Amino acid sequence: MNQASPAPRLRLSFTWLGLMPFVIFVMLFMVLPTMHIVIGAFQTRDGAFTLQNIIDLNSGTIPSSYWISVKISVASAALGCLIGFGMAAAVVFGAVPRWIRSPLMTFSGVASNFAGVPLAFAFLATFGPVGLVTVFLRNNFGLVLQRDLGFNILSFWGLTVTYLFFQIPLMILIITPALEGLRREWREAAQVLGATTLQYWRMVAMPILFPSLLGTFALLFANAFGAVATAIALTGSSLNIVPIQLYAQIRGDVLGNPHLGYAMAFGMIVVTAIANVVYIWLRIRAERWLK
């Protein structure tokens, strides 16, 4: 009689051990804190379940802080997409020397992750009340940024310009592969059919790139909406945005309500999650054309 062969043993490959530091890091600093925030948003100070924290998001200055944060995110994402697309197109299609490409991509990789207190300090040292550019323009041209141009680094547009430092490089990194995916045959076919350069971009290239552009806009929106350290370090309490309100609730003061802060953080998670889902969905659609 033939004996039944023994069941195969499950072997755990040691190569998976290399992923353990990453898994532990993600669990400790992303998954568990997020779960704590979500649970805390639906709890009272005594730990009982409540929806009052979510209801309170529609009270006081919280709705206006969300609206201002949305406007800053939209403005920085739109400008980041526009400027970044122009720079990436100039490099990909040869409008600038080819040797600029490598330094630009390297700088974009670094600058897209440069945020927080160092970025806030850099812009304060440059465009602040006694910043390098501010003092230079005042002493040499008699031009005062806030008085003559209405520019204040601690204002809506000041924070938007600061965000552009990492929004533009992120746009360059994401849109460059999409621009490189435009096949030369498509342009040649359009030219054979008598299309001008403008018609090619309007009727061929832009429809193909549109999902990538819209998806990148959603990603840049989420990137700006979730930026906390830069906003707090740069504006302090001078600008009523969600990160500032959130910090005021959870920093431990007597008048603060940590669970309301959890609810505000939960709202930010929902907004950024929606933006990231839109980005992933549009990215998948765009890759169908670029394969």
For residue range 22-77, list pLDDT tens digits in order. 889 989 988 998 899 999 999 988 889 999 999 999 988 889 999 999 999 999 99
Rounded to a whole number, what is the largest CA-CA distance in the chain? 102
Query: What does the pLDDT average to over 103-129?
Result: 90
Is residue 279 scored above 90 in pLDDT? Answer: no
Is residue 250 scored above 90 in pLDDT? Answer: no
The full DSSP string for 196-219 is -HHHHIIIIIHHHHHHHHHHHHHH
Query: What does the pLDDT average to over 166-184?
Result: 92
Q: 216 pLDDT band (50/70/90 cuts)? A: very high
Give me the pLDDT at residue 6, please. 60
Q: 8 pLDDT band (50/70/90 cuts)? A: low
Q: How far apart are CA 12 and CA 14, in angstroms?
A: 6
Residue 267 burial by Cβ neighbours in a 10 Å radius (0-12, 13-18, 19+) = middle
pTM of the entire structure? 0.85
Q: Which helix (H) or strand (E) holds 165?
A: helix 156-180
Q: pLDDT tens, 181-206? A: 888 888 889 888 888 888 998 888 89
- Phi/psi at 35 (5° precision): -65, -40
